[in-house]
Structure 1
Amino acid sequence: MFDVEKIRADFPALKQLINEQPLVYLDSAATTQKPQAVIAATEQFYARNNANVHRGRHTLSEQATLAYEQARATVAAFFNITANELVWTKGATEAINLVTNGLSEQLDNQSTIVISALEHHANIVPWQQLAKRTGATLLTLPLQQNGRFNVEQCVNFIEQHKPTVLAITHASNALGNITPLETILHAAKQQHTITLVDGAQAALHLQPNLQQLGCDFYVFSAHKMLGPTGLGGLYGRYERLNSLAVYQTGGEMIETVTLTETTFRQAPAKFESGTPNIAAVIAFSAAIKYLVSLDKTNVYTHEQAIFNYAVEKLQLIDGITIYSDINNNIGTLCFNYKDEHPFDIATLLDGYGVAVRSGHHCAQPLMQHLGINGSVRASFAFYNNHKDVDLFIAALQECIALLD
């Protein structure tokens, strides 16, 4: 059985009061809270094992290097990939920029890049810039008015345009909608399309097997997976990784250097210049070990139960409009109340200790597609419980009473 109260005890931040109210944290889509194991791993590294990795021959350096590379292996195993297919980055955003930069020499004015209106800005803007640099055509997958993909339309679109690159989210950061990736990626593969999946929102909840998923690139952020901020990763099919041009240059990623010429190492070192975020990598390994220690099915079942309970309660409030696909979701509710500004709702909720997000959620094209200026977003994780939902709904009703 999934003991959510035992789980919550592992997260120190959940025990605090906000505005003299128990914290109800419903902003996990922005960043997840961290279990004590992750906090302890960070402290342990700086207190006892602090040293730079690779090449050092003293004890601390060798210990740090071993922990650092073991962490890469731990995270790679989580995604069912090999360690040399995992590049450490500052986050999903840098990972996407690494790929778009690396593809610059492979695209030209005959190339086509396909994105969607469902994407986070981080999976739109880098592709726009790549199109400008190369002259490639930038197209968008068809998206229904309700913010959901029609798979048949997407497949037909891919077959018609035969894109060079397809960049698509695994789950919407604004709506929580899960993309029907398998069919879309299969259609792209038939056209020999290079595929990148933004997994920043999905990785924690869906725990994808990337070998089965079959994309060429997959990006994620540690801080959305119980880990530290300032760290993320890029999975790349090995031959695809090595085909990319170098992103940043400096030390560590080089093979040989003269005053006039440099040769570079193979991936992943090719893309990891400079001193890495060693403490964050090691702490992220602790986060993954914590996550793996929980039964995957029980975690997902609990998250869906909490999400469905929140949907049920929210739908009972007159004047609420829900934009999320409530039947195919990682646990994120995007909604508005009548014509009230989402900032006002979020600000009032904070007075009751309820943390939600408001605004366009770095998804302005999606907000325009839905015909709204922004929304309130309540995003759930496995450490939320039914009491969180009850407190959230009660606070929302009181906020609405103040606004009406």
Structure 2
Amino acid sequence: MENIDVNKIREEFPILSREVAGKPMVYLDNTATSQTPMRVVDEITRIYTRTKANVHRGVHTLSQEMTDLQESARERIRRYINADSIEEVIFTRGTTEGINLVASSFGSRFHKGDEIILTVMEHHANIVPWQLLSDRTGVVIRVVDINERGELDLEQYRSLFNERTVMASFCHVSNVLGTVNPVKDMIAFAHSKSVPVLVDGAQASPHLRIDVADLDCDFYVFSSHKMYGPTGVGVLYGKRKWLEEMPPYQGGGEMIGKVTFAHTTYADLPFKFEAGTPDFVGIAAFSKAIDFIEEIGMERIAAHEHELMEYTQQEMTKIPGIRIFGTAEHKSAVISFLIGTDHPYDLGLLLDKQGVEVRTGHHCAMPLMDRLGIPGTVRASFAIYNTKEDADAFLKALRRAAAILG
């Protein structure tokens, strides 16, 4: 596929050679978290054994070296997402914290009766922070629906904007349906109404090239652990004009200029939003994950994953009773499904007993499940290291599970 030597790539992921239930493991839970190549693990080990020291707080050699590694990672990410400056790259613990930061800080300008537009396909992380803001301020949440293919109702989206609309926040890619939303057009329309936009890129960043300048988004959030990187590291991109106006999200060390009991001044960007000791080891190692992605090429990764998804989904349609949720024209490498009325948990257990690791449940998208009229789904999701053999093993296990459940 696309001249990619997947077996060579798999050599960087020792976990893929382990067994589950006495069978070769097939890992298809990549939407929840991807596995991590040895170059990232080796970098973490190297830093912990050679360079670990707190950043920005020491004149000694180790602190200076660690600071350089963290700030080099910031510049690496800036280039990767095509942000204008490193001041627009804020390190967080993940996508969830990034959205909470924006909802809390940028949201402090909103008032009772102001309206925020979300979509029915959002992850809880892009719903609950806005609900918390609503509880505090009285802002109103408006929700965009989907059609039968799992695509956003763009006519409804446009109709929700009015003089009270102050924010739009939506996912780039649905973690359940795999739908790739037309976010560039959605952002352009919001901006035509002078409404800023946050894009949840957690599910897009492992599969699509992110260019925040081209998208013209006001905020973009994503996580390292879904991009072959360490856990506990995320990125918030924000346009500098907004970040400069926003109050700090947390208080503590690093985010200050001068502290007295009478008054505190705050550090310049990006440090104003980075209170406390960051996961500087994970941040530095994230650069190695980006190296991994760029060496293969995001376009080639996406093509490989899409081919696997298309093949698997087509074969799944031959299984009696199969129900696939999300058949958008533009879709990422995610397949959410049920078989008849079988509970997703039962299917997941039977697949696990055959060495196939998938996700079951509501996938932190309960409003979407309510909209679909189901309790949850089984979700199989692909990454660059998955193979046609993985797909065939999954299909074989799924057929057996379907036969057992009858």
TM-score when scaled to structure 1?
Answer: 0.97
Q: What residue is the counterpart of 1:208 in the other structure?
A: 210
What SS is found at the alignment partner of 1:205? Answer: coil
1:84 aligns with 2:71: no
Could you tell me which runs of 5 or more consecutive residues in structure 2 were left unpaired when the two chains were aligned.
none
Q: What residue is the counterpart of 1:121 in the other structure?
A: 124
Q: What residue is the counterpart of 1:27 in the other structure?
A: 29
Distance 2:295 2:250 in 1: 36
Distance 2:322 2:164 in 1: 41
String of CA shifts for 1:32-89, please: whole Å, max 9, x gaps: 0001111101101101011111131111111101011001111111111121101000
Distance 1:25 1:246 in 2: 40
1:99 aligns with 2:129: no
Q: What residue is the counterpart of 2:260 in the other structure?
A: 258
Q: What residue is the counterpart of 1:194 in the other structure?
A: 196
Matched residue count: 403
String of CA shifts for 1:99-134, please: whole Å, max 9, x gaps: 111024310014111111100000000001111211
Contact 2:180 2:332 in 1 (8 A): yes
Distance 1:38 1:152 in 2: 44
Deviation at 1:162, TM superposition (A): 5.6
String of CA shifts for 1:203-245, please: whole Å, max 9, x gaps: 1101211110111000101101111111111000011112211
Deviation at 1:157, TM superposition (A): 2.8
Contact 2:142 2:160 in 1 (8 A): no
Distance 2:344 2:186 in 1: 33
Q: What residue is the counterpart of 1:241 in the other structure?
A: 243
Identity across matched positions, percent: 41
1:134 aligns with 2:137: yes
Could you tell me which runs of 5 or more consecutive residues in structure 1 were left unpaired when the two chains were aligned.
none
Contact 1:86 1:268 in 2 (8 A): yes
String of CA shifts for 1:303-348, please: whole Å, max 9, x gaps: 1111111111111111100002253211000000000000000011
Distance 1:144 1:298 in 2: 30
Distance 2:167 2:144 in 1: 12
String of CA shifts for 1:270-309, please: whole Å, max 9, x gaps: 0101111011101111101111111222221111111111
What SS is found at the alignment partner of 1:263? Answer: strand
TM-score when scaled to structure 2?
Answer: 0.97
String of CA shifts for 1:174-199, please: whole Å, max 9, x gaps: 11111111221111001111210000
Distance 1:142 1:398 in 2: 36
Amino acid at match of 1:357: R
Match among 281, 301, 304 for residue 283 of structure 2 = 281
1:5-404 superposed matches below 5 A: 5-81=7-83, 82-158=85-161, 160=162, 163-325=165-327, 327-404=329-406
Contact 2:116 2:139 in 1 (8 A): yes
- Root mean square deviation, CA, Å: 1.2
Amino acid at match of 1:147: G
Distance 2:184 2:365 in 1: 23
Contact 1:145 1:369 in 2 (8 A): no
Contact 1:360 1:373 in 2 (8 A): yes
What SS is found at the alignment partner of 2:242? Answer: helix
Deviation at 1:155, TM superposition (A): 2.2
